[in-house]
């Protein structure tokens, strides 16, 4: 049996070891991309891409101290803070996203976790977006079991809660919530029957060993996340990581490729940072197994690749929406 055939028939693994994953990162670039693309092609149509739209429903004043985040109340970033949007505003934005070709609508709120009346409003938002026939996704911070179940009942399909980085490097980036807090929320999400969306950020000052450990965390979960967003840090003035050097583009692409190999049936999303990527870099990410993006000129508070740029790039690559 050829190597390609073995890859195509291999079962999904949940027992990846850190040394195995570090060895993948250390492979020659072309060998790694070939293997990742073979896995990708065996599990997905390589010429189709899933398109989502992300809206910030409550912006700024977050009590967490994530060193990369312009929405943290701990840092002076000049961000215009916004209170929770009205349900009608969110449903209107979702309808426009659907008209623009999005199949999933994601709502993000700068909360430690949803509480009180704000949570009731968020539930109504989920119900309204779901009624449009879109897949629904939310990122509201830490969830209790009851909150996860209520979101499921309201019609939520996906819940996003990233692990961000390795357990060891995490302590250098965030102090107001623990790594275990994040894992507990993901467990509540799985128990409620929601699809898990969880990934990380490249460019936080971590090394390949940290990236490997982050992906091992995701790939050894009882069920692989259905969506794995891989973000490229956008250094924001006023945050502690404002002057963080930009990672080598090939290191970022390697992370995409390894995520595809470890989680062959998950959607791997090319997320934050696309605006600063060349078309060629994005094309290599798609070849390496990324098959999901956020559309729209704004990604929460950060600029995103414009719809016109995306349409041009996807057209030249022959990529069509799922």
Residues annotated as part of the active site? 62, 66, 69, 106, 137, 197, 269
DSSP state of 22: H
CB 115 within 8 A of CB 128: no
**Residue 287: how many other CB atoms lie within 10 Å:** 19
Beta carbons within 8 Å of 310's beta carbon, 6+ residues apart: 293, 295
Number of H-type helices and E-type strands within the chain:
12, 12
Q: How far apart (Å, rounded) are the C-alpha atoms in residues 98 and 83?
A: 24
What tokens does 164 get?
A: 């961000």
CA 159 to chain centroid, in Å, comes to 10
| Sign of the CA dihedral running 225, 72, 110, 77 | negative
């Amino acid at each position: 049996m050829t190597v390609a055939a073995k890859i195509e028939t291999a079962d999904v693994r949940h027992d990846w070891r850190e040394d195995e994953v570090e060895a993948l990162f250390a492979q020659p670039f072309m060998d790694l991309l070939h293997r990742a693309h073979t896995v990708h092609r065996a599990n997905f149509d390589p010429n189709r891409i899933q398109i989502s739209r992300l809206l910030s429903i409550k912006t700024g004043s977050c009590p967490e101290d994530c060193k990369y985040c312009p929405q943290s109340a701990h840092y002076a970033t000049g961000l215009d803070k916004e209170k929770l949007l009205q349900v009608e505003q969110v449903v209107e934005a979702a309808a426009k996203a659907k008209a623009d070709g999005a199949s999933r609508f994601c709502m993000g709120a700068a909360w430690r976790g949803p509480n009180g009346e704000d949570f009731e409003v968020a539930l109504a938002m989920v119900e309204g977006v779901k009624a449009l026939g879109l897949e629904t996704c939310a990122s509201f911070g830490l969830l209790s079991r009851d909150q996860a179940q209520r979101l499921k009942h309201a019609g939520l399909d996906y819940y996003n809660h990233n692990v961000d980085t390795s357990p060891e490097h995490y302590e250098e980036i965030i102090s107001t919530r623990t790594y275990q807090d994040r894992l507990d929320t993901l467990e509540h999400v799985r128990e409620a029957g929601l699809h898990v969306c969880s990934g990380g950020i490249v460019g936080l000052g971590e090394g390949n060993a940290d990236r490997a450990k982050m992906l091992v965390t995701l790939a050894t979960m009882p069920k692989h996340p259905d969506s794995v967003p891989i973000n490229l840090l956008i250094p924001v003035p006023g945050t502690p990581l404002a002057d963080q050097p930009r990672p080598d583009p090939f290191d970022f692409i390697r992370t995409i490729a390894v995520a595809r190999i470890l989680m062959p049936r998950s959607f791997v999303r090319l997320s934050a940072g696309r605006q600063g990527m060349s078309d060629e870099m994005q094309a290599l990410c798609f070849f390496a197994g990324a098959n999901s993006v956020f559309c729209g000129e704004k990604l929460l508070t950060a600029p995103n690749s414009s719809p016109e740029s995306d349409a041009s790039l996807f057209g030249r690559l022959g990529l069509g929406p799922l």
